[in-house]
Structure 1
Amino acid sequence: MMATFAAPQSLDYAQDDVTALILDPGYSTTRSGFGGDDCPRSIVPTSYGTYTVQNETKHVYGDELYVRPRPGLSLHNPIGRDGIVEDWDMAQKVWEYSFTSRLTGPKTQKNVLNDVMAADKMDIDAAVDSEEKPLAENPVLMTECGWNPVKAREMMAEIAIENWGAPAFFLSKTGPLAAFAAGRASALVIEVGASNVSVTPVHDGVVLKRGIQHSQLAGEYVSCQIRAAFKVNTPHPINLVPHYLIASRQPVEVGKPANVQYRNLSPEQSPHASYRRFMEEREILHFKESVVQTWPGPTGLLTMGPNNVPTEELARSTPSRPYEFPDGYNQLFSAERYRVIESLFDARAALPDQDEIYPLPTASQTIPELVRASLSAIDAEFAPLLLQNVVLSGATTLTPGFTERLTSELMGMFPAVRVHVAAASNTNERKYAAWIGGSIVASLGTFHQMWISKKEYEEHGPGIVEKRCK
């Protein structure tokens, strides 16, 4: 049964009532919704689960990952840490799930993807496949990172037009879309996503490609720094146990050992270690949002502050923040809550990653140095305008003190130029800036001529994407 989408559609691209599907696939989450909306209607994990029933492989998508830790359930991500798709078959499944599960009309009982019992009886991949040509009446605008290779760009068009039956397609980089969402045609866009931080110079809506810079000192890197801090925590390391392994707990005083009963799962009942790490990441995300703070400057955390007092000592004198973990253990956090994010600005502050996912960073990977490298790679005449229009995007930029610290760093790096950092105060506007920009652009009457129609695609092949989507 083909999904019935809940928004009006049109095949006439000369009219103003075109309703496009906006798809913003990220490393952590995939966002989708309709052009003209204020924020995405569907936000689902990009990771998917795999488990075996009677020697048959099953897949799990979306929020169902959080509901039941199935025996042997392992987690996988079709997108690499560099932001490039590695598994196209599964990426397509996740993207399809993002809109077939959330953007459908009232007959949701027809959609087995929303039915846990039915999904156990039927391979959920077959449920996705049953949505034959699910976008036959919706043009698709997809977002991409600034360093997406040509083959990947062509594959995105192939999926949208050939596999989903979309009548038109467009591919846009996240940088200019975030600038448009902030109401700017020219901007220096700094995006701190889950797997990458990027700096993109945009002038009159055009990406200055030579200036695109990126590194992996982003949200997941900060999560690894938090794990490292937990392991060297005093008076004892913090044992991070996700909720699904907690049977019961009792309240304890601050700093006292947890009084907890763990759920005893046999190896046959337990999910894969990748599932546990996935659920631990949810708790770390909550810790980041509740406790972590960026030292606002003007000096860095590892430098000397006023009156020759080390800045880290000043950080210890600030009010501590309490946090309670799933097992009931709770602690007050002071300077360490600044330290775990400091290396985004000063590589010397990095804690060794004992999981060996990220090597110790270099200065060139930090955000200030990425900005310097970006502006050095483009014509010098653009720098003053761009530094007056610095746009922030991504959840990590919402960390308290982040905007102030970045402003301080850039003012110190470019003292002769007026620096202004535009950071939306609304959480959704910051988290989903690229999606919102895509929603705005796809709704403009002047954008209709930009679409690559299905007819053009069939005439010129996937190579038309590289020519039309600059």
Structure 2
Amino acid sequence: MAGGPDTSIVVCNFGTHSVRIGFAGDAVPFYDEPSTVWAAPEAPGGPAAGGSRKRPRPTTGRRIFFAAGAAPAGCEITSPVKAGLVSDWDAAWAHIERALSRADGEAAPPSAAAQAALAAPSSSLPSSSTSSSCPGGGSGGSLRRSALQGRRLLVVDNLLAPRAAREAWAEEALAWRGAAGISFIREPVAICFAHGFVSGLVIDIGASGCRVTPVEAGYPLVMAHRQSTVAGDFMDLATSVITRSFVGKASTCPVDPASLLATDASARALLDSARSLREAAADCCQPLLAGDGTFDLAKPPLVPKPVVVGPHRLSGEARARLGDVLFREDAPDTPASTAADESSSEFPALPPGAATIPMMVAASLFACEESARRACGEAVLLTGGVSRTGHCADRLSWELAQPDALAAGLAVHLLPVPLSEVTHSPWMGGSIIASAGTLPDLFISAKEWDSGDASKLLARCI
């Protein structure tokens, strides 16, 4: 972006399987890493005490490690995000500190010893006040200055993130990390801004589910939001021996789930396998365009056979077949020569009555006022990591163009989103808004937070 990045404003977006952190004004985040980490048991003495006069501190003092080889015995695998919402604050803040420390001068990923220091118990971090003792009643040791000190933080969060989550972000950033300010923006709004719209219908197919949200004039219409939690989990493809049948090619990922996280090498194999699957998917899900650059809806696009997905590698929750859940059963399929028999009793059956994307789009738009319905239907944005697989854009375009897909008179126009921007769209929108300089009251300062009413302060955020 023009003028270069503003390193005093940090933009972060936490997804189920990746964390994106960067500076306002940048086109892409400098930190885009898997969210999975290893957490040591809670520090002696339990959660950190204190905080501001009104609120407890969100973090508990666990030590966080980013490589299996660096984690001591007894660590548990965890992620900042569970069920689409940030809930593990130790893991979330460890990612932020790691990203900023790397941006501030670390040329290479930290060693095991450096990671241990970087992921020191939260109670050893200084509060916003200059104190020579360890806040929170910790055992002391060397105090380390937070990499967020003096910076402002913009969190691009889930549409349904509760106010308590935003309060937890603000309390840790302002009262304990010494941040100069904090603000928030909902993901659907950020996605629209990333692609030059203030109104639109955002279809976000991520690892935790599929979310359909209308956005009118920069505000998400929460009452018209629709969500399905059985949209599949693309990263789980790397945890089982799964053959992915694409149009004319297949990609096999033989990984033993039992030994995935035993060593650094096996953890690296997991990441490399996931990347190879993503690259193979990206090669095969380019839109089927007509000569004039528009979607060719004269014939149904070829799509891969629905993919069987095993249990979630963190929660153990069973996942359904991606293709069957997202689209209609009678939709066109791949030629028989490329289809593999993927039926197996070890995988879960499809949930009865699972909502398809066209059904969710129709329900969401009809929940809007007529003017909002018209504005949102003119720009339909398909984003999210899972949307990169299986000709999702082609299939959805074909589905929405069918006479019986939506009620008469409801026209929608799916806009092609570049593959390079699919997973970065929420972060990009936050970067644009934070660098615009047209919202002077966007950020909440530490002084305001300490003396003001939380509900009124958070109401200023988007």
Shorter-chain TM-score above 0.5 = yes
Give the letter for the 1:60 counterpart: F
Change (3 A) 1:158 1:453: same
CA 1:121–1:275: 2 relative to 1, 3 Å = same
Residues 134-185 of structure 1: CA distance to partner in whole angstroms, max 9, x if unpaired?
3232111001111111211211111221222111111110101000001001
Q: Is the 8 A contact 1:395 1:430 kept in 2?
A: yes
Deviation at 1:296, TM superposition (A): 8.4
Moved more, 418-427 or 170-179: 418-427
2:441 counterpart SS class: helix
The answer to whether the 8 Å contact 1:195/1:221 transfers is no
Q: 2:193 is matched with which residue: 166, 172, 180?
A: 180
Gap runs ≥5 in structure 2: 42-61, 126-142, 245-251, 289-297, 306-320, 332-340
- Is it true that 1:343 corresponds to 2:317 in the alignment? no
Q: Distance in 2 between matches of 1:451 and 1:340?
A: 39
**Alignment-derived partner of residue 430 in structure 1:** 422
**Partners in 2 of 1:374 and 1:213 — Cα distance?**
6
d(CA) in 2 for partners of 1:389, 1:201: 10
Letter in 2 for 1:448: P
Deviation digits for residues 28-69 of structure 1 (CA, Å, limit 9, x no counterpart): 1111111000010111221102479xxxx96422xx45x889
Aligned match of 2:399: 409
> Structure 1 207/366 Cα, relative in aligned 2: closer, same or farther at 3 Å?
same
Deviations 1:443-464 (A, max 9, x none): 1121222222222212214333
- Letter of the 2:461 partner, please give it: C
2:230 alignment partner, one of 217, 222, 237:
217
For these two proteins, the number of residue pairs brought into alignment is: 380
Q: Which of 104, 114, 135 lines up with 1:119 in the alignment?
A: 114
CA contact (8 A) 1:346 1:363 kept: no
Residue pairs, 1:21-420, within 5 angstroms: 21-50=10-39, 59-61=64-66, 64=67, 74-80=76-82, 82-100=83-101, 102-104=102-104, 106=105, 108=106, 114-119=109-114, 122=117, 124-125=119-120, 129=125, 130-218=143-231, 220=233, 223=236, 227=240, 240-241=254-255, 271=261, 280=270, 283-284=273-274, 286-291=276-281, 341-346=323-328, 360-399=350-389, 401-412=391-402, 413-414=405-406, 415-420=408-413
One-letter identity of the residue aligned with 1:176: V
Which structure has greater helix proportion? 1
Matched residue type, 2:96:
W
TM-score by length of 2: 0.69
2: distance between equivalents of 1:343 and 1:172?
Answer: 29
Distance 1:116 1:401 in 2: 40
- Amino acid of the structure 1 residue aligned with 2:233: E
Letter in 2 for 1:137: G
**Distance in structure 1 (CA, Å) of the matches to 2:17 and 2:412:** 31
Distance across 1 between alignment mates of 2:201 and 2:266: 38
The percent identity for this pair of structures is 25
Letter in 2 for 1:287: L
Answer with 142-151 or 433-442: which moved more: 142-151
Partner of 1:440: 432
Which AA in structure 2 matches 1:27? T
Q: Deviation at 1:222?
A: 7.7
Deviations 1:92-121 (A, max 9, x none): 223322322x321x3x38xxx943153377
Measure, in 2, the Cα distance between the counterparts of 1:225 and 1:354: 20
What is the CA–CA distance in structure 2 between the aligned matches of 1:362 and 1:278, rounded to whole Å?
37
Q: Partner of 1:450: helix, strand, or coil?
A: coil
The verdict on how the C-alpha distance between 1:291 and 1:25 changes in structure 2, with shifts beyond 3 A counting, is closer
What amino acid is the match of 2:120? D
Give the distance between the partners of 1:21 and 1:239, measured in 2 at CA: 36
Tell me what 1:12 maps to: none
Letter in 1 for 2:14: P
Residues 303 and 395, structure 2, Cα contact 8 Å, conserved in 1: no
Secondary structure at 1:443 match in 2: helix
Distance 1:376 1:215 in 2: 17
Matching residue's letter, 1:402:
C
Q: How well do the aligned residues superpose, as a CA RMSD in angstroms? A: 4.4
- Whole-angstrom CA distance in 2 between matches of 1:226 and 1:272: 13
C-alpha distance in 2 between matches for 1:397 and 1:204: 25
Cα offset for 1:423? 2.5
* Secondary structure class of the residue paired with 1:20: strand
Q: In structure 2, what is the Cα distance between the partners aligned to 1:274 and 1:214?
A: 36
TM-score by length of 1: 0.68
* Contact 2:231 2:322 (C-alpha < 8 Å) held by counterparts: no
Which of structures 1 and 2 has the larger relative contact order (alpha carbons within 8 angstroms, sep 6+)? 1
Deviation at 1:274, TM superposition (A): 13
Answer whether contact 2:388 2:419 (CA < 8 A) is retained: no
Counterpart CA distance in 2 for 1:84 and 1:466 is: 18
Match of 1:439, SS state, is helix
